[in-house]
Chain A
Amino acid sequence: MNRLFKVQSVIPKPTGWSSIRNFHSTSPSFMFEKILVANRGEIACRVMETCKKMGIKTVAIHSDVDRNAKHVSMADEAICVGPAPTSESYLNIDAIIEAIKMTGAQAVHPGYGFLSENSRFVKELENIGVTFIGPGSYAMHALGDKIESKRIAKEAGVSVVPGFIGEVDGMDHVLKIANEIGYPVMVKASAGGGGKGMRVCRNDEDVKIGFRLSKQEAKSSFGDDRMLIEKYIEHGRHIEIQVLSDGETALYFPERDCSIQRRNQKVIEEAPSPFMNEETRVKMGEEAAALCRAVGYKSAGTVEFLVDHDKSFYFLEMNTRLQVEHPITEEITKQDLVEHMIRIAYGEKLKIKQSDLKIHGWAMESRVYAEDPYRNFLPSIGRVKKYIRPSGPGIRIDGGIFEGAEISTYYDPLISKLITFGENRKNVITKMKRALDEYYIKGVNHNVAFLRDVMENKDFVDGNVTTDFIPKEYPEGFQGYKFSPKQIEQLSICAVFLRFVEQHKNLTNSANTSRTSSISPDILYIAKVENVRHSVHFYPLENEGETEESSKFMVQFIDQDKDGEVLKEFEVNLVDATPQFIKLNIGGISHRFQIHDKSATAFTLQFHGSKIPVTVLTPEEDLLTQYMPVKKTVDSSNSLISPMPGTILSLAVNVGDKVVLGQELCIVEAMKMQNVLRAPKDCEIKSINVKPGQVVSVDEVLIDFK
């Protein structure tokens, strides 16, 4: 038995990106010698992987809080470009230009976000003769601008979303246009991306608030607050085409389906789309390629479409950069997009043809964020105290953090991108479930529970997903995984097993004078999960002919009211155990549980992605629990509590104001997202405990009501 619980050093093995094979990296007679990666986090690491593979030296830039970050340790050289706020570091063009000069980098890969679509940066680079790995400033300017790109697309014969082609400003103008197009409409920043600076509006009221907030976000995130407005197509699918163009040849890749979004930010993506047929695929691809040719595009890019239920599609925008979700395209086409980008930027011509871009199997990406799915996906910050990544064939992880990393309010809360790939969609979903079950994250809240829940959603499994999937399937927000009675039994077994192990360990103490040196051979425990209780009788089974101690157990669920009648019986086998995981074979099927917390009476387990406390008591303890006082809970209904850590941006009320349910009280900015906090009921403001600019922590009381 002891052998089974002993643990050797648990150093996570690096996995993931290495699974992409070497493509035409055999022949670099001439190539860049040093590339500066003007980004952080997973995408910086991703780009450096390819640089390493191609024998190119890498330079990382970082803010002062990032000096121990993963991308810094991966690079050959690292230069600090400023303090934590992105506007002073990762967006600090002057400092980055300085870094390029200092290190002698010949090219810059911008990743996504930050300066990836900033034409001023591209111009600055051109001035000093450094190559920007991306499209030229003309294509970037023309396509990166949502208004301009719509115009160009229309001219190139691409079908576009109905709307107003042009910038809107002034509330009257905005309202007029919105009413002309007809609700619902989408207001979005012309320079936007990543779900920032855009909002869906369903009436005039929404437009008034949404327009103001989006504009502010656009200003702080992109430094460009021009806005546009267009028809919001509901129940559509978000499908996009990866393109690759060397200025002459423009190739299109099989599509990516990114319909699962929340707050207009993608959460789960897959390639190909379960909705597409070959005909539409070719038609979309050709239009995307045509758009590239129209602007003489020279790099990798993505053309986004909204696809209606009748497979008619509308051009949304073109992203002139590497996308977050590019790995799924790489996995089904066996191409390294970063390598292609670098080669095109160096001036090479594409060596692949359209016919090389066949679909091999299926791939899916889940974005693992530090956020609280139970609290409307609000960002979570903190120190990642334990971090164990899944691994295995068909699993790729593009991540930018390691254990001990700090997730701060300054940057995107993306922990990693978990990609699984295989022969078909079913197989890929199964792998994704397993990978999520093996993903152990402690210290910050994360959305694994939510992702895992989606993997079991019927519509998702059937491939019936549209962009309103999350609001439709989770109208009240994510409430946590609903454990079936069978799963509750499995949780009970696991917790009882853990209790048994603990007991066993304690009995090995040297002062054990008891005449029996080990645990009594069988035990009865009461396991409680939520409101379900089970009486679990547990005893080890003899192992035949083996010298090692037994790892086989018999578990019986018994009915205490009926003279201990055995209701169910399982043979349980311990497969594997570490301090974080336990894998039990229950009645022939293996289940993996994560162990997250332990109190005097309960274990908090993570099962099917969701954490749940399981109380294990002896029958005596269980009997006496009825006398224990009920814990008092603090009444929080009479105050406004900060749902996340962040900064108070503005206060919309004063002390003594009478407010009505849903009225805006204040705005908290966290991770560049502005969150409006509203009155939970009709009431009067008694006191305001914060002022604009103040940094607040989660659960801090901001406003008291009378």
Chain B
Amino acid sequence: MLGRRLLNKNTIQLLNKNSNGVLSQGIKSFSTAKTAPPAKEPFKAVKYESTIDRVMGRIQEETERAQLGGGLKRIDVQHGKGKLLARERLDLLLDDGSFREYDMLVTHRCTDFNVEKTPGDGVVTGHGTINGKLVFVFSQDSTVNGGSLSEAHAEKICKIMDKAMLVGAPVIGLNDSGGARIQEGIASLAGYAEVFQRNVMASGVIPQISVIMGPCAGGAVYSPAITDYVFMVKDTSYLFVTGPEVVKSVTNQEISQEGLGGAKIHTTKSGVAHLAFDNDIEALKKVREFVTLLPSNPNQPAIREPFDSPSREDVVLDQIIPDDPNKPYDMKEVIERIVDEGEFFEIQPDFAKNIIVGYARMEGRTVGFVANQPKELAGCLDIDASVKAARFVRFCDCFNIPIVTLIDVPGFLPGTNQEHNGIIRHGAKLLYAYAEATVPKISIITRKAYGGAYDVMSSKHLRGDTNYSWPTGQIAVMGSKGAVEIIFRGKGDIKEQEQIYNDKFANPLPAARRGFIDDIIPPRMSRQYICEDLEILKNKKLSNPTKKHGNIVL
């Protein structure tokens, strides 16, 4: 039963019913992809006991101990908290029977303080497939020493990360750990650093995803922080550098774990986490969906068979821009009307809502979408939006995911708050990210493209491959009201001056005459244009000057 899940009595019973019932009905096996090693029959005592029999017996015993983890009592506690066990999680995450475990029998080497020794040492590692796609995984077991990270625990994680980089497959970490194993002292800290170093080395080589499914505190947070995506489970997961007790003793501020570093804070305020889910099952299912969208490495484009026509027109887009330039509309609807089957996987939907980022498919190809959201802050770029989009653009560029940008931006958000907190520095990140990106870049201006924000948002001047505008596009230095004040200094008929300005600039013609946009397209045909361009650009080759690495404005 190597690689089988660990369950409590109740579930074992249910499972037996299951496998004896359905599976033995003469029906074909439920998965032909089963690669689990053959089940080992329990060792039966015979009169003569050979060496190998004895060894087999010990292997059996240790394997069983490893699978039991922290024991039935702790298993019930874990379930009681609404959390699944490390192995149960992997079962749900990976294709049925695809999990191959490594280092099941590894134990820690600590001799102080009588630390409990359990084979596996609090983490389950290995590889498996998600919809047939190879992934490497580790899943921390908080029933074993609280899931704390020992030197051996760290080594196990490092091993699968090294292997993942070697073969170019994503790493998914399921975090549920109390932190460093204090009894091991510096050895545990060294373990963390080894993991961090690998996270950094793997960055841009393979996608790294962290799912926080329990506590993750102190130094431990920096591994997920470096990974590309951080997902959390609501109510059961926390991320913080120092916990509520320390916060209280230092600042005398009372705060709960949830309030300090719960899923809500990190997906709405801090921007540390990208998505939050209701429970373990939903989280793992969504990770499956997400991983299927992503490429495994920069050399393997993510594509699946198309299930939507590239020439599908959507007449609603022709009417979606309100006549009143100050009236908002939902840019998310624009995206959903353009992409395959209307399916859009949004990243950080609740953080910096004034910009939308996420993945969708165009003719089966995974594409990253960046779009201003006129419904929030009129679609202005601010610090959070710039940082959110910059990181997204850079991820897409790392893994050769084409970027489609939909633009309706009145500019950068004004204010002392923004200026004092460094909108210059942070806004520059987005500019840097777009300018540096060598993947296919397609943009559509749906309405406003004003000022510096026009330049930043995937403009022609930042090596945009195709830049379109809808007939409703307005590409100008600023809106008519402000511009008229500057040009005419408040003299004369403001209404008339605004009209003159609007006629001149509040349309896509000046940009089209200069070739800054390639074409003015009917909104309803946006999908068709994008699909064609992606096809043309699929073999795009562009590289930046050879350098050690650029110095992005951090």
Residue positions of A touching B, CB distance < 8 A: 2, 5-11, 67-68, 383, 385, 403-404, 503, 505-517, 520-524, 535, 537, 539, 558, 560-564, 579, 599-601, 617-621, 623-625, 627-629, 631
Which residue of the partner chain A has the closest CB to B22? Answer: A564
B289-314 contact mask (Cβ, 8 Å, vs A): 1 or 0: 10010011000111111111101110
Chain A residue numbers with a CB within 8 Å of B133 are: 509, 511-513
Contact: B82 with A629, CB < 8 Å? yes
Question: DSSP majority for the B interface?
Answer: loop
9 further A-B contacts with Cβ under 8 Å, apart from A510-B301, A511-B132, A623-B11, are A67-B323, A505-B304, A505-B305, A506-B289, A509-B132, A514-B33, A561-B17, A621-B281, A627-B84
Most buried by A among B21, B28, B236: B21
A356 to B386, CA, bound (A): 73
B278's nearest neighbour on chain A, judged by CB, is: A631
Q: Is the CB of A601 within 8 A of B281?
A: yes
Q: Are B18 and A619 in contact, CB atoms less than 8 angstroms apart?
A: yes
- Complex Cα distance, B30 from A524, in Å, reads 8
Min CB gap B157→A, angstroms:
23
Q: Which residues of A contact B235 (CB under 8 A)?
A: 629
Q: How far apart are the CA atoms of A579 and B341 in the complex, in Å? A: 7
Chain A residues, Cβ within 8 Å of B280: 624, 627-628
13 contacts between A and B (CB under 8 A): A6-B306, A11-B315, A508-B305, A522-B30, A537-B22, A579-B308, A599-B282, A600-B277, A620-B92, A624-B84, A624-B88, A624-B281, A625-B281
Whether A520 contacts B281 in the complex (CB less than 8 A), given A404-B316, A558-B22, comes out as no
Are A629 and B236 also in contact (CB < 8 A) when A513-B133, A521-B28 are? yes
- A404–B329 alpha-carbon span in the complex (Å): 11
Q: Is there an interface contact between A10 and B312, defined as CB atoms closer than 8 Å? A: yes
| Chain B 219-250 interface 0/1 with A at a Cβ cutoff of 8 Å (1 = within) | 00000000000000001100000000000000
Query: Which residues of A sit under 8 angstroms from B32, Cβ to Cβ?
Result: 515-516, 520-521
- Tell me the minimal C-beta distance from B73 to chain A in angstroms: 15
Q: Is the CB of B95 within 8 A of A510?
A: no
* Least Cβ–Cβ distance between A221 and chain B, in angstroms: 28
Alpha-carbon gap, A8 to B319, bound state (A)? 22
In the complex, what distance in Å separates the CA atom of A618 from the CA atom of B305?
A: 25
- Determine how close the nearest CB of chain B comes to the CB of A514; give it in whole angstroms: 3
Task: Pick the residue among A509, A516, A560, A599 that contacts B18 (CB under 8 A).
Answer: A560
* Interchain CB contact (< 8 A) of A510 among B98, B236, B303, B306: B303
| Secondary structure type dominating chain A contacts | loop
Closest to B294 in A: A511
Identity of the chain A residue whose Cβ is nearest the Cβ of B283 in the assembled complex: A600
Instruction: Kindly state whether residue B333 has any CB partner on chain A within 8 Å.
Output: yes
Q: With the chains together, A5 CA to B281 CA distance in Å?
A: 28
* Interface check B129, CB cutoff 8 A: yes
Is B31 positioned at the interface, with any CB of A under 8 Å from its CB? yes
Residues B333 and A385 in contact, CB atoms below 8 Å apart: yes
The chain A residue sitting closest to B34, CB to CB, is A520
Q: How far is the CA of A508 from the CA of B96 in the complex (A)?
A: 17
Cβ B309 vs Cβ A9 within 8 A: yes
| B contact residues vs A (CB 8 Å cutoff) | 5, 7, 11, 14-15, 17-18, 20-25, 27-33, 79, 82-84, 88, 91-92, 95-96, 98, 129, 131-134, 235-236, 277-282, 285-286, 289, 292, 295-296, 300-309, 311-313, 315-316, 319-320, 323, 330, 333, 341-342, 364
> Which residues of the partner chain A approach B313 to less than 8 Å between Cβ atoms?
9, 11
Give the residues in chain A near B33, CB-CB below 8 Å: 514-516, 520
B residues near A624, Cβ cutoff 8 Å: 11, 84, 88, 92, 280-281
A7 touching B307 in the complex, CB below 8 Å, given contacts A68-B319, A509-B131: yes
Within 8 Å by CB of A564, from B25, B305, B316, lies: B25
Q: Does A514 contact B132, Cβ atoms closer than 8 Å?
A: yes
- Which residues of chain B are near A512, meaning CB under 8 Å? 131-133
B312-A601 in contact (CB<8A)? no
The smallest C-beta distance from B93 to any residue of chain A, in angstroms, reads 11
B98 to chain A, nearest CB (A): 8
Q: How far is the CA of A561 from the CA of B20 in the complex (A)?
A: 10
Q: Are the CB atoms of A623 and B14 closer together than 8 Å?
A: yes
Q: For the complex, give the distance between the alpha carbons of A357 and B7 in Å.
A: 77
**Known contacts A564-B21, A623-B15; A629/B28 CB under 8 A:** no
* B83 x A511 contact (CB < 8 A): no
Q: In the assembly, what is the distance between CA of A42 and CA of B318, in Å?
A: 22
Give Cα A403–Cα B28 distance, bound, in whole angstroms: 47
B318: nearest chain-A partner, CB-CB: A404
* Contact between chains at A9 and B304 (CB < 8 Å): no
Q: Report how far A629 CA is from B330 CA in the complex, Å.
A: 33
In the bound complex, CA of A524 to CA of B98 (Å): 17
Q: A385-B333, A511-B134, A560-B17 are in contact. Are A628 and B307 (CB under 8 A)?
A: no
CB B39 to nearest CB in A, in angstroms, measures 17
Contact with A507, one of B29, B132, B320 (Cβ below 8 angstroms): B132
Asked if A627 and B79 make an inter-chain contact with CB atoms under 8 angstroms apart, the answer reads yes
CB atoms of A5 and B307 under 8 A apart:
yes
- Collect the chain A residues with CB atoms within 8 Å of residue B132's CB: 507, 509, 511-514, 516-517
Residues of A within 8 A of B31 (CB): 516, 520
Whether B82 lies near A509 (C-beta < 8 A) is: no
A631 surroundings in chain B (CB, below 8 A): 278
Whole-angstrom CA separation of A65 from B530 in the bound complex: 32
Residues on the B chain within 8 Å of A617, using CB = 281
- Given the interface pairs A520-B30, A561-B17, the reply to whether A6 lies near B308 with Cβ below 8 Å is yes
In contact, A509 and B15 (Cβ under 8 angstroms): no
Query: B295 to nearest A CB, angstroms?
Result: 7
Set A507, A513, A522, A562: member contacting B28, Cβ < 8 A? A522
Q: A524-B30, A620-B92 are in contact. Are A563 and B282 (CB under 8 A)?
A: no
Could you say which residues of chain B place their CB within 8 Å of the CB of A503? 131
* A510 and B302 contact, CB distance less than 8 A: yes
A523, B30: Cβ atoms closer than 8 Å: yes
A601 close to B285 (CB less than 8 A): yes
Asked if residues B129 and A513 are in contact (CB atoms below 8 Å), the reply is: yes
Chain A residue nearest in CB terms to B285: A600
What distance in Å separates the Cβ of B263 from its nearest Cβ neighbour in chain A? 13
Contact A600 B15 (CB under 8 A): no
Q: How far is the CA of A620 from the CA of B6 in the complex (A)?
A: 12
Contacts of A6 in B (CB 8 A): 306-309
Q: Which residues of B are found within 8 Å of A511, using beta-carbon distances?
A: 132-134, 295-296, 300, 302
Which residues in B have their C-beta under 8 angstroms from that of A619? 18, 22
Bound complex: CA A450 to CA B292 (Å): 40
Pick the most buried of A506, A510, A515, A561: most chain B CB atoms within 10 A of its CB.
A510
Report if A509-B292 is in contact (Cβ < 8 Å); known contacts: A601-B285, A620-B92: yes
Q: How far is the CB of B27 from chain A (nearest CB, A)?
A: 6
Residues A7 and B309 in contact, CB atoms below 8 Å apart = yes
Name the 6 nearest CB pairs between A and B, nearest first. Answer: A512-B132, A629-B82, A514-B132, A404-B316, A508-B305, A600-B285
Residues of B within 8 A of A627 (CB): 79, 82-84, 280
- Give Cα distance in the complex from A507 to B132, angstroms: 7
Smallest distance from the beta carbon of B13 to chain A beta carbons, Å? Answer: 10
CB neighbours of A506 from chain B (8 A): 131, 289, 292, 304
Interchain CB contact (< 8 A) of A509 among B84, B302, B311: B302
Chain A residues near B307 (CB, 8 Å)? 2, 5-7, 505
- CB-CB under 8 A from A9, the residues of chain B are 309, 311-313
Are A563 and B131 neighbours in the complex by a CB distance under 8 Å?
no
Q: Is the CB of A563 within 8 A of B21?
A: yes
Contacts of A522 in B (CB 8 A): 27-28, 30
List residues of chain A with CB within 8 A of the CB of B91: 620
Cα–Cα, bound, A2→B364 (Å): 12
Contact status of A509 and B281, CB under 8 A, knowing A520-B30, A522-B28, A560-B21: no
A517 to B296 Cα, complex, angstroms: 17
Q: B325 to chain A: closest CB distance in Å?
A: 14
Residues of B within 8 A of A383 (CB): 330, 333
Residues from chain B with a CB closer than 8 A to the CB of A11 are 313, 315
Across-interface contacts of B84 in A (CB, < 8 A): 624, 627
Q: How far is the CA of A67 from the CA of B321 in the complex (A)?
A: 13
Chain A's closest residue to B300 (CB) is: A511
